[in-house]
Structure 1
Amino acid sequence: MTVFDPLIGKQLGDYQIVEILGRGGMARVYKGYDARLDRYAAVKVIDASLLATENEDEYRQRFQREARAIAKLSHPNIVGIYQFGDYENLYYMAMVFIEGRDLGQLLKDRNTTLNNEQILRIVRGVGSALDYAHANGVIHRDVKPSNIMVTADYRAILTDFGLALSVPEGSIGNTFGSAHYIAPEQAISSADAVPQSDLYALGVVLYQMLAGKVPFDDPSAMAVALKHLNENPPPLSRFNPKISSRVEAVVLRAIEKQPENRFSNGAAFTNALEAAFSEQPPLTAPEIPRFENEGTTIAVTDSNSSGSAAPVYKGEEHDASRSNGMPQGQPEPVIQPAPPKAGASLTRAGCLRWGLVALALLVLGGIGILAVNGGILSQMAGQTARSRF
């Protein structure tokens, strides 16, 4: 069934809007065609209703900040941008169109399982993209399966920089990551995100690919964030007995509570995982169940659709990117993963701090929303805190 949209057939810059691919809370994504260059693009357009509110300038600035973050990054595993502009008070950005599916959709596909080689390639691609972004002063802050596009040959492309933090600029207001993948320090304060915060999120994604589920889950985003702060993840072997202790050690190091105890960069993370996989028999990950509260940015249909917009689910999204081959990068020595620490958690001061937060939640439970230092601790009606784009 064709979905009517007033922008279909319109011209936005060099792109004629062909069809809608999906929608999110603050933007829609369309398939656009550039007749001059005979190419398609994913055209992301900010929701017009947001530009008719008192926060109009803030929304424009965030959208432009996302475009600038993408524009300064040129990497085979990062979504590319063609154009940014406005049309009749609508701000848009045209990005490279990717033929593929996001990792969230891939993991929900009952007919798809991932083996060691495919998992490693995905982690390597995202890790390389993060290393490049971090070297250029950009922290993504919203790494999750639905923001990782995967091509037919399992090349991963990192998308959706709507929450990206430019280190020199500081925090971008009250923006949040997705509770299931957020690092403890980022849950406390958005401005506290560091490069290792992105690697933590990638570690959670790896945990999910191997175990079939995220380490911490709850209908409440606030409860999930508190688990990231104070609880140890369940052993991977509980969900997948084929996981070796060395592979599990790599995952647990990636999601250590303290940033300094994690891998220093994506290359070190990938090297450790590759070494651990080399000692483990071929692995097929278990089926990964769908959960409803992952959080969302931009939703789209998958690449197998026939052009009609498919139902949009939380966590399903599509940006666009283009790449030929894997990034080469500089080889780094294999870093042995640290053994998992018994009772690893935040410091005593951190636990005391969040004990007080938990007490405050009991007092403020009827209010419905709590924001602490710009962090993600927000109680929302049946869904996680989510990216603004």
Structure 2
Amino acid sequence: MQQKEKIYIRNRYKIETILDSGGFGITYLAEDTEFCQKVVLKKYCPLEDRKISYEKGKKDFLREARTLSALSDITAIVRVLDYFEERGDAYIVMEYVKGHSLRKYIENRIESMNFSQAWDFFLPIIDALEKMHEKNLIHRDINPDNIIVREDETLKLIDFGSAREYASDVTMTAIVKGGYAPPEQYMRKGKQGPWTDVYSICATIYEMITGVIPESSIERQNKDKLYPPSSYGCEITPQQEESLMKGLSLDYKRRYQNIVQLKQSLSSKKEKETASGRKDKRNRNKLGRNLIVIVLMVGSIFISAMTVKKHKTDLYKAEQKEWQEKSLREYPRDSKQRLLLLDYLARYGQYKGQAGEEKIYFLPEWAAQKINVRCDFGFFPQKKEEYISYLRRKGISLKLEDKRYQGVIYIKPVTGTLRTYFSYTEIYDIGQNCGMNIVYDVTTHEVTRAVFYRKNKRQKLDYLISIASQSIIFFAKDWELPLKKTQQKVKELAEDYEKEEKNEGIYSWISVYDGSIGCKMEKWCGTALQVFSYTGY
């Protein structure tokens, strides 16, 4: 077999593979044979239709190298190791940063970040840009594709091909990236400065917390449809949202003029929130002391068990109402979340058929994650992680075997009402030749049901009855029976159920307000037990 010819540049850099190629050149992964390390080698070689301005382009290319060399002391910026010309071509040698783009990192996250998480995560890049601005340089191309997330989750800013010195009397070329570039970058004589990078910083953070790429600033000038992050259900305070949206102002004069102002704005607002929190705490302490006095005064009053139970039920109903308000079907017809859902449905949805009056569509997993809103089916308030931890504390062995996604939207064409069911199912081996499926919400991880089954129909149900009984006690606040009585009730239910013939597809269950435990017959495993919640459905 013929050995592939090795290519060396400057008798030092051995080409390994092509990482990227574009209109202005090729980017290689190479080995620096002198220092035995991997490097990134950028070669300037424009396409044929751009060779008229070859010399000017090469000059700009080498200027990028000099720009980066001047920033070598900034940790979060990729370092230039060398730059040179050889046989008429220009090259830049940069450190090789192992990792993947911030865009891929955002897309692969199960949950979007809240604002504080995104800000802290992105702060090294913000600090790096602040130092860059101190040298009268602006980047002009901040976006998730130009930031690398390393294996230790630290960030590196790459691609300085658009970086320029800024001055009030200089006309800059139009370098734009839709969604991240402010209006002045679309204008031939648009005034650019640190405020230009401020817009791109805020646009990137906006995507990190919402999962949505901001609308192009040119489109926003015609009709501004940039919704505040809170409308997507993001975790962000009003003060943080105000700062972020100011950073995304279309008029650069209304924007923060530099990164210092942006950071000061968030810092001062955080101090106000902390002060407000201290005041609230003092008020709560005062209220607590008053309540103690009141309780002591009325301590002799007898409260009946029925009153306590009613209070628990009312409290749960209030919590349930709060959960319902988070779901898509509770939003008005013209709400931002509903419009986002319908937009994804139109672009990425797959029609799966009809059930009664409802049409059924499938939505990909990544789209459900970006919508990032709790779906409409009933869920317990407990999260999957809490439930797994509870079972392990009870001594139950759990081995994850599989994880599946289901993303279904139900729409009634006549009324326009819709329901969403975005869930994961995790399949576990729980020992003693038994299994368990946990179904939970994609966004909140709240559990909708847990199903327990035998892998051999002839096994006894005792082990499953024990786990199912512990589970209903864990999930349902209104379930008041102790464990032994619960196990007896479930055993009686299962025995009666198995005596019946032709039970396939028929349920039998015991319910309280906030949860149910029941039986279902399956061909492959016989009687299965399940704990489920349909409240809020």
| TM-score, normalising length: structure 1 | 0.62
Counterpart amino acid of residue 42 in structure 1? V
Does residue 265 in structure 1 map to residue 258 in structure 2?
yes
Change over 3 Å in CA distance of 1:104–1:273 after alignment to 2: farther
Deviation at 1:112, TM superposition (A): 6.8
Counterpart amino acid of residue 58 in structure 2? R
Partner of 2:247: 254
Structure with bigger strand share is 2
Partner of 1:90: 89
2:13 equivalent among 10, 15, 31? 15
Change over 3 Å in CA distance of 1:34–1:89 after alignment to 2: same
**Identity across matched positions, percent:** 22
Three-state SS of the structure 1 residue aligned to 2:179 is helix
More relative contact order, 1 or 2 (CA 8 Å, 6+ apart): 1
| Deviations, residues 134-162 of structure 1 (Å, cap 9, x unaligned) | 11011111111111112233322221111
Deviation at 1:58, TM superposition (A): 2.1
| Deviations, residues 93-114 of structure 1 (Å, cap 9, x unaligned) | 0111112211122122255754
The answer to whether the 8 Å contact 1:209/1:288 transfers is no
For 1:79 and 1:277, the matched residues in 2 are separated by: 31
For 1:52 and 1:31, the matched residues in 2 are separated by: 25
For 2:186 and 2:47, the matched residues in 1 are separated by: 29
Deviation at 1:175, TM superposition (A): 3.8
Aligned pairs (5 A) from 1:20-169 = 20-47=18-45, 49-50=47-48, 53-74=51-72, 75-109=74-108, 111=110, 113-114=112-113, 118-167=117-166
The answer to whether the 8 Å contact 2:46/2:54 transfers is no
The answer to whether the 8 Å contact 2:115/2:235 transfers is no
Does 242-251 or 134-143 show the bigger shift?
242-251
Let me know the Cα RMSD of the aligned residues: 3.1
Partner of 2:226: 233
For 1:239 and 1:131, the matched residues in 2 are separated by: 30
Deviation at 1:78, TM superposition (A): 1.2
Change over 3 Å in CA distance of 1:191–1:96 after alignment to 2: farther
For 2:14 and 2:50, the matched residues in 1 are separated by: 25
For 1:111 and 1:253, the matched residues in 2 are separated by: 28
Deviation at 1:33, TM superposition (A): 1.1
- Greater Rg, structure 1 or structure 2? 2
Change over 3 Å in CA distance of 1:275–1:43 after alignment to 2: farther
Partner of 1:213: 212
Change over 3 Å in CA distance of 1:86–1:77 after alignment to 2: same
For 2:83 and 2:49, the matched residues in 1 are separated by: 17
For 2:269 and 2:210, the matched residues in 1 are separated by: 16
| Deviations, residues 114-145 of structure 1 (Å, cap 9, x unaligned) | 45565123331121111111110111111111
| Deviations, residues 57-78 of structure 1 (Å, cap 9, x unaligned) | 1221221121121111121111
For 1:230 and 1:26, the matched residues in 2 are separated by: 34
Change over 3 Å in CA distance of 1:179–1:56 after alignment to 2: same
For 1:155 and 1:184, the matched residues in 2 are separated by: 30
Deviation at 1:182, TM superposition (A): 1.0
Aligned pairs (5 A) from 1:333-344 = none
The answer to whether the 8 Å contact 1:10/1:17 transfers is yes
Partner of 2:180: 181
Change over 3 Å in CA distance of 1:249–1:52 after alignment to 2: closer
Three-state SS of the structure 2 residue aligned to 1:93 is strand
Change over 3 Å in CA distance of 1:18–1:212 after alignment to 2: same
